[in-house]
Amino acid sequence: MTFYDFIKIGLQKNNRCPIIPSERIFVPRTYVGKRRWNLYFYDAVIFKFHALERTASLTDKSPSRDLSSRVALRGGGAPADMVYQALEEVSPDPTGIRNKVVLVKPNAGFLAERIGTGLVTDSETVRGAIRFFRDAGAAKVLVGDGAIAGVDASEALKAAGIEAAARQEGGLPVNLDKGEPVHVAVKDPMAVDGVRLSSIALEADLLVSVPVMKSHMNTVASLGIKNLKGCLLRREKQRFHHLAEEERFQRWHRWKTLERAIADLYSVLRPGIVVVDGVVAMEGMGPSMGDPKPLGLVLASRNVLAAEMAALYIMGIHWREVPHVFLAAQKAGVDLPEEISALDVDLNALKAFRSPFARAVPENIAAMFPCFKIMEGDACSACCATVMAFLKQKGRRYEDRKEGSLRIVLGKNIDPDLVDDATILLGNCTAGLRGRGRFLPGCPPVGSDIEREIGRMDEEGIGAPGTQKIIRRRGGSL
């Protein structure tokens, strides 16, 4: 028996090692440096011992089986000050933070062309969180996220102003997509047996989820639990959108695999604190094509589910409408109350902040452009966002076309009979149909790719006004 086997068996016996037994564990390069290969074996074991022990202890303690944790609300002030005050309210004794490694995880996976749109977490909200944890004596405050396909997370953090805020406040910006893969097994799974997490996310003693409040086309709302998806390593994020239904999960089939996978993720990676950014939220076609909704508020809690309920109330959404929230609660053994009055929160302030959000209903925007027939299989947010952006920016140019004459397919598991040589196949997930239609590679492609392909079809006489036949939809629709 090797030293590695000895350590792993010991951890497993103490429920500290939710790792697939045959998996080789890698250590971040920063721990080993130039001597990586000489010290690989030793450092891999020690890293996993500490990281998993810290993560397991957080998971075991949160959330509580009731929702008694305080939810703090602040509005109308400077974002950084509001966050600091809200965290003081929910963490009156910060001694547990002293000498700990904290990961502040904003929603920053999109490349923001300008700030203040609700696309990403406000940098001043992040600033307030970093300042609080630094003042509380944290040994190190990491600030980072992983990005959607086609976006570099480091560039996204920089564009959002989060990198600069982190450095100014003594935090350390990190790209979670640069971590090593760590496979964590899921107990009693609803959709996935395990998840591949970024090793950087597991360095932290305390994970702080700092989402921006959004409507979401795939999950109804995006808050503290959905924000955890950025801790998945690189393509693991996309895998969550492409999960095949399995018979063994039949009891959960009434809910989408994505929603169930997010609940599975929450069961192994639970934040110790959540700060919801409602300074400028996003309503409508979130997560990327919605409209800014300035609310000028933040909320914080040590109980993620309590924070989710409070934020959903502000958005005008009941938790029963958001499957990943109530499924996460079910896995955590928490019975969510029907009434918001069950929360430990200033109800008068909560009701004053309530401002129902326009929902993300993709059919609404697609209906504005009847010449397009959008057929969606199991597609991720990236390709959906490409189509929505293209329609909003370029859709009016094609109003003279027949209804349904421009067909775009995205995602996996599309009926091949829906596709012919006048059908645009958007993104790598449609590669299996490339012999039938007009394949646009990319993960994701961009709107200009669609525009160019329609131009080529016009040149060939395929896409000219009035020339295309209509294929009635038999699959899903955006």
pLDDT range class, residue 213, cuts 50, 70, 90: very high
For the record, the structure tokens of 112 come out as: 């923001």
Query: Using alpha carbons only, what angle is made at residue 24 by residues 19 and 26, rounded to the nearest 5 degrees?
Result: 100
Q: What is the mean pLDDT of the chain?
A: 82
Q: Which residues pair with 407 in a beta bridge?
A: 373, 423
Please provide the distance, in angstroms rounded to a whole number, between the alpha carbons at the two ends of the chain.
55
Residue 289: per-residue pLDDT = 82
Topology of domain 362-477, CATH: Rossmann fold (3.40.50)
Residue 224: per-residue pLDDT = 97
pLDDT of 61 over the 90 cut: no
Q: How far is CA 307 from CA 201, 213, 312, 336, 434, in A?
A: 21, 11, 8, 12, 45
Among 7-11, 235-239, 361-365, which range has the highest average pLDDT? 235-239
Question: Distance (Å, rounded) from C-alpha 70 to C-alpha 83?
Answer: 14
Residue 56: per-residue pLDDT = 32
Determine what percent of the chain is predicted with pLDDT higher than 90. Answer: 55
The residue among 329 and 385 whose pLDDT is bigger is 329
CA 56, 62, 64, 65 dihedral sign is: negative
Residue 231: per-residue pLDDT = 96
For the record, the structure tokens of 377 come out as: 């299989």
Whether 362-477 and 66-353 are alike in CATH topology: the answer is yes
Hey, where are the domains in the chain? 1-61, 66-353, 362-477
Architecture per CATH, domain 66-353, reads as 3-Layer(aba) Sandwich (3.40)
pLDDT of 137 over the 50 cut: yes
Residues 6+ apart with CB under 8 A from 311: 213, 221, 223, 224, 276, 278, 299
The residue among 31 and 305 whose pLDDT is bigger is 305
The residue among 404 and 9 whose pLDDT is bigger is 404
Question: Is the separation of the CB atoms in 122 and 210 below 8 Å?
Answer: no
pLDDT tens for 294-339 read 999 999 999 999 999 999 999 999 999 999 999 999 999 999 999 9
pLDDT of 459 over the 80 cut: yes
